[in-house]
Amino acid sequence: MEPVRVVDLGEVAPVRSQAVYHAVAYAMDEGTPDTVLLVTSSQPYVSIGYHQDAAREVDLEFCAAHGLPVVRREVGGGAVYLDRNQVFCQWIFQRQHLPARLEERFSLYVLPLVATYRRLGIDAYHRPVNDIQVAGRKIGGTGAASIGRSEVMVGSLMFDFDHELMARVLRVPSEKMRDKVVQGIRDYITTMRRELGDVPDRQQVLAVYLEETARALGRPLQPGQLTEREWEAAAELEERFSSEEWLHQKGGLRASGAVKIHADVHVAEATYKAPGGLVRATARIREGRIDDVSLSGDFTVLPAWAIGAIEQALRGLPLREDVLRQRVADVYRALAVEAPGLAPEDLTQALVALRGTVEGTP
């Protein structure tokens, strides 16, 4: 078997910590080796998922006032506060070298992470679809994307975590709710420090992780460097990821509940908790039909642009459950959509809930 290239970039700027694995994916050709990147951010920042609305999910004013960059990634999932206490483990592999089914890719990817924690004395386990837990507490989530000819898997080793700051960067409607968020994070997020009483040596942990990665893949690992082409791609992506346009790309419709524009037009919002994550539907409803719609949330969907295709396909449809379910299912089938824990029925329920918000508007 050909060896897997390992590139340990150490500490890099926040935007580079996200751009670099995208760059390897976009630059990948048939001669590019499967690659494992190890990256740590040199300073704190907030990362949001590809399908999220930045202004709705994150307190952007607080982040700006406290020097916290906000970076949108091309991988799904939710908003998360990140700093030097996590080491990102990023896989960028030729598509044919990983399992075809997304659930199986997640299972393979988490194997070395779980094994590393267990060798440290932490009783971690895989909680499908893509979480790693210890006694019911999350010690890591994972994400996936298909970029170019590659499959990308991302996650991290959690040495420590700032619960209060994570809760503070999120946009919530009240301080009472924020207090509940802080308590929830404390109760249901754990780290190496919490489980072991101290933070283990990073290099020793990474050495264990690489041993377990080689074991899981059944392939040798070989230290390497990024190519000039990959660094050029990273520079271009850093510029894009730093732009306001990229950050706010899902921010076109903003509403809470429903707002009456006139007798026949409302802007409405509804949420639905699917097994694969929260779904938020924001739409303009005209005479009982979807005039425009935006779907966002902390789910994972491949291909990433499938959500945009679904949004387009829904325009003009009445808010009838059977019609909406059939149209979403048709797009899933036509695009071979992979969305762990997010079935057509889940998107349908988020859309149907819009009707209740409109009907309840005076």
**Dihedral over Cα of 105, 109, 115, 117: its sign:** negative
Going by pLDDT thresholds of 50, 70 and 90, the confidence category of residue 358 is confident
- C-alpha 7/C-alpha 33 separation (Å) is 11
Give tens-digit pLDDT for 220-264. 999 999 999 999 999 999 999 999 999 998 654 333 457 777 767
Give tens-digit pLDDT for 1-55. 799 999 999 999 999 999 999 999 999 999 999 999 999 999 999 999 998 999 9
Residue 189 is given by DSSP the state: B
**Per-residue pLDDT, 253:** 39
**Per-residue pLDDT, 268:** 86
**Per-residue pLDDT, 152:** 97
- DSSP strand pairing (258-262 vs 221-223): unpaired
Residue 330 is given by DSSP the state: H
For the chain, percent of residues with pLDDT exceeding 90: 79
> Is 4-247 a domain of CATH 3.30.930.10?
yes
Arch. (CATH architecture) of 258-359: 2-Layer Sandwich (3.30)
Mean pLDDT in residue range 99-104: 94
**Per-residue pLDDT, 263:** 67
**Per-residue pLDDT, 255:** 38
- C-alpha 175/C-alpha 105 separation (Å) is 39
- C-alpha 74/C-alpha 23 separation (Å) is 11
Instruction: Give me the residue spans of the domains in the chain.
Output: 4-247, 258-359
SS3 325: helix
| DSSP assignments along 62-112, one per residue | HHHHTT--EEE-SS-S--EEE-TTEEEEEEEEEGGGS-SSHHHHHHHHHHH
Helices (H), the chain: 14-27, 54-57, 60-65, 102-119, 163-169, 175-188, 192-196, 202-217, 228-241, 244-247, 306-314, 321-335, 344-359
Structure tokens at 30: 């048939």
State CA 319 to chain mean position distance: 29
pTM: 0.85
- C-alpha 55/C-alpha 288 separation (Å) is 27
State CA 38 to chain mean position distance: 18
